[in-house]
Amino acid sequence: MSADHLPALSVIIVTYRRPQFLARCLTSLWDQHEYIRQVIVVDASERNDHEAVSSAYEAATYVHVPQLAGHMTSSRNEGLLYASGDVISFLDDDVVVHPGWAEAVRTAFAEEKIDAVAGRTLNRVPGEDEPVEPIGTLTSAGTLTAGFAALREGRCRVTHGIGANMSFARPALRRLGGFRDDYPGTALREDTDIFLRIARLGGVVVFDPDAAVDHLPAPHVKGSRFDTRYKLYGRRNHMVLLARHAGIGSALVRRWVASQLVDVRDAPGVRRRAERLGVTVLGVAWGMGASVRKARLAPTDPIRRDPVADRIREALEVRSP
C-alpha cells in the first residue's frame, strides 16, 4: 500500500523539564517527517521552550501548560484536543524512534481492523529481544506480563501495551473519552487502563515489533524509578486498575492481593522482607481505599462520562485537513 493511502498520523509527546531528551526524540522523528502529519508537544515545564522545539522539529505544535505539571495523563488528554490524524501515537520524551517507525504504525492500522498498537520498546538490556510468550497479558493472578522488547515475526494480539510507545485509532479514543487521569503519583497503570478499556468494548489490541523505539530513560524529576514512592503508588494504582476492570470484590483482586503477600517471602534477608511487607500492606490498603471511591462491585463502565471527556470527544469529532 502506498504512503498516500495510509492513515494520517499525529504524534503526541508529553514532557516536563527534560529539554535535551525531548530534542533527541524530536530529531529522530524529523527523519521520518514525511510520514507524519503532525507532532504535538505538550510541555508542563515552567519555561516556554517553543523556539527549541521548533528547532528540533519544524512546524511542531507546541502546547505550554505549566498548570499541568505533575499530571502527565492530563497532559496526554490535552494533546488530544489538537490531534488531527486518523491514528494518534503517544511517545515518551526519552525515546528514540527506529527507522521506519512511523510507516510501521500507519501500515498496521491500514492492514488490520485494530484499535490500538503496542510498539516494540527496547531498553538496551541484554537478552531482552528473546521471544516472550505471552506478551502484554493480564494474567488470572491479576499480574501483567511485559515482553515489549521481544523480537518476533509479525504482529500478535495482546491485552495491554506500554505508554512509552502506544498508538490508537482516533474513533477508539473518541468513544472512550480519552485517558482516565486519576492514577496519581507516577501515573503507573494509566496506559494499561486505556488498553483494558478498549478490550472491554470489544476492541482489538496488537503488539507490532516493527513499530520500534529505544527507551533511554531520563532521570525522574521527583524521586527515582523503583524507589519506595514508586512502589507505593504502583500497588495503589494497580489495585484501582483491577477493581475497575473486574470489580472490587472480584476473585481477580483477591488473587492479586494474595500474590503480593506471597512475594514478600521472596525478598532476600529479614530487613528486605520487612520493608517489602510494609510497602505491600500500605500500598494495598491505600489502593483498597481508593477503589471504594473510584470503582464498584461490578466492573466500571470503560467509557468516561464527564465534562473533560465531552471536550475530548468534541475535539476528536473534528478532523483538520
Give residue-wise pLDDT tens across range 246-294: 999 999 999 999 999 998 888 888 888 899 999 999 999 999 999 999 9
Query: Residue 185 carries which side chain, given as an amino acid letter?
Result: G
Does 265 fall in a domain?
A: yes
> Is the domain of 215 the same as that of 275?
no
pLDDT for res 180:
97
> Is the domain of 161 the same as that of 61?
yes
pLDDT for res 225:
57
pLDDT for res 321:
46
Does 312 fall in a domain?
A: yes
> Is the domain of 32 the same as that of 153?
yes
Does 172 fall in a domain?
A: yes
| Number of domains composing the chain | 2
Residues whose CB is less than 8 angstroms from the CB of residue 86 and which lie 6 or more positions away in sequence, other chains included: 7, 8, 9, 109, 169, 170, 319
> Is the domain of 275 the same as that of 177?
no
For residue 209, the domain's CATH number is 3.90.550.10
Asked which of 12-16, 107-111, 274-278 is least confident by mean pLDDT, the reply is 274-278
Residue 3 reports pLDDT greater than 80: no
pLDDT band at residue 4 using 50, 70 and 90 as cut-offs: low
> Is the domain of 180 the same as that of 81?
yes
pLDDT for res 223:
47
Q: What is the mean pLDDT of residues 153-161?
A: 95
Residues of the chain with pLDDT > 90, as a percent, come to 85
> Is the domain of 119 the same as that of 267?
no
CB-based burial, 175-201: b 16+ in 10 Å, e otherwise: bbbbbbbbbbebbbbbbbbbbbbbbbe
On the 0-12 / 13-18 / 19+ scale of CB atoms within 10 A, 319 is exposed
Nearest to 170 by CA among 1, 3, 5, 7: 7
Does 270 fall in a domain?
A: yes
Does 299 fall in a domain?
A: no
Does 254 fall in a domain?
A: yes
> Is the domain of 190 the same as that of 256?
no
Q: What is the mean pLDDT of residues 201-221?
A: 89
Q: What is the mean pLDDT of residues 38-48?
A: 97
Nearest to 63 by CA among 89, 44, 47, 46: 44
User: Domain range holding 244?
Assistant: 228-294
> Is the domain of 12 the same as that of 157?
yes
pLDDT for res 185:
87
pLDDT band at residue 29 using 50, 70 and 90 as cut-offs: very high
Residues of the chain with pLDDT > 70, as a percent, come to 95
pLDDT for res 229:
86
Residues whose CB is less than 8 angstroms from the CB of residue 290 and which lie 6 or more positions away in sequence, other chains included: 236, 239, 240
Residue 224 reports pLDDT greater than 60: no
> Is the domain of 206 the same as that of 287?
no
